[in-house]
Amino acid sequence: MRIKFVAFTLLLALFACGEKQKNQVDVSNIAMDTEIVRFEKKMYGKSDIPDQERLEKLKAEFPIFFDHRVPDSIYINKMNSEQNKSLFKEVDSVFPNIEKQEKEINELFKHVKYYYPKFKAPKVITTFSEFDYTSNVIYADSLLFISLDIYLGKESPVYEGVPSYIVENFEASQIPVDVAKEFALRLNPMRKNRTFIEKLVSKGKMMYAVELFAPFKTDAQKIGYSQEKLDWAEANEASIWKYFIENKLLYSTDFELANRFINEAPFSKFYLETDGDSPGRIGEWVGWQIVRSYMKNNDVTLQQLFLTNEEEIFKKSKYKPKK
């Protein structure tokens, strides 16, 4: 029995490698030179320049961060705030340099350019969000903002009191993933996805884009799961799908389903004793598998995928999890 199990495991590993290789593309000939500008370092780091002179230079270089209606004294006070200085010290200890992130984001931009030839890489600026967990990455046409205070590591004392399921992805390794998700979000046309299956597929479309934009990340990193949680999802895929079918959830318009299976949560809510073993957002993971199946069984480009409505994707996906 053990020999059979090992053989089966190897077969799964080989299949997974085959799937990954299918999505591997050569971007070595795509010219890209990404530089990350450290606004928070210029704002809160040590400087011999007088505050007013320093502020004027910052306003000239980063006008988007300053409102001319706000008195300079407010910004100077912010610059010298002990709280901000303390936060900068934490950020600078984790990110004394940003070379690794520059390389990964540069690679990510190359992949976006491969699939979207008209893509122009934005200027990348790091800053603080002051712990606004919904604004860790913001893409605004020619600018990309990354809030480094959200990536200090899940064990960082600055996150004390924040639920563990929220901080588990506050790792530097997740920065490229979150950038890829932000790009994918902009590519996905806003639709009135009312049914549960439409919402799953919509999430799956974005996850598939992340898969293509950041192939150098693991599946666990892409979905934001620990490896243990990803293993649970893969092992229980058929049971999850069976639950959705038997409880007639696919075409339900019950808003609460998003809270149970799609939105951030410590676990998914099947209302079973084993719920605590499941990862949150299991619907997003299922949607990703549906879209993977659709792309495998249909000859379409990434651009065409985003233009196709979710109902059609589901019907043509031939999705059927293995038991």
Output the 3-class SS for 165-188.
Answer: HHHCCCCHHHHHHHHHHHHHHHHC
**Rg, the chain, Cα only:** 22
Domain boundary, last residue among 153, 187, 221:
187
21: in domain: no
Residues 174 and 270 in one domain: no
Residues 116 and 204 in one domain: no
15: in domain: no
Residues 152 and 80 in one domain: yes
Residues 261 and 122 in one domain: no
Is the pLDDT reported for residue 63 higher than 90? yes
Residues 156 and 81 in one domain: yes
Interior angle at CA 237, CA 250 and CA 243, nearest 5: 40
Query: What are the pLDDT digits (tens) for 206-263?
Result: 999 999 999 999 999 999 999 999 999 999 999 999 999 999 999 999 999 999 999 9
254: in domain: yes
Interior angle at CA 106, CA 102 and CA 109, nearest 5: 140
Residues 216 and 181 in one domain: no
Residues 313 and 269 in one domain: yes
Is the pLDDT reported for residue 20 higher than 60? no
Boundaries of domain holding 170: 36-187
Domain count of the chain?
2
Residues 142 and 210 in one domain: no
Domain boundary, last residue among 187, 217, 237:
187
Confidence (pLDDT) at 189: 77
Is the pLDDT reported for residue 283 higher than 90? yes
Residues 157 and 62 in one domain: yes
Measured distance CA(293)–CA(111) in Å, rounded: 21
Residues 82 and 212 in one domain: no
Residues 47 and 171 in one domain: yes
Domain boundary, last residue among 121, 152, 187:
187
Q: What is the largest CA-CA distance in the chain?
A: 74
Residues 100 and 216 in one domain: no
Question: Mean pLDDT across the stretch 308-322?
Answer: 96
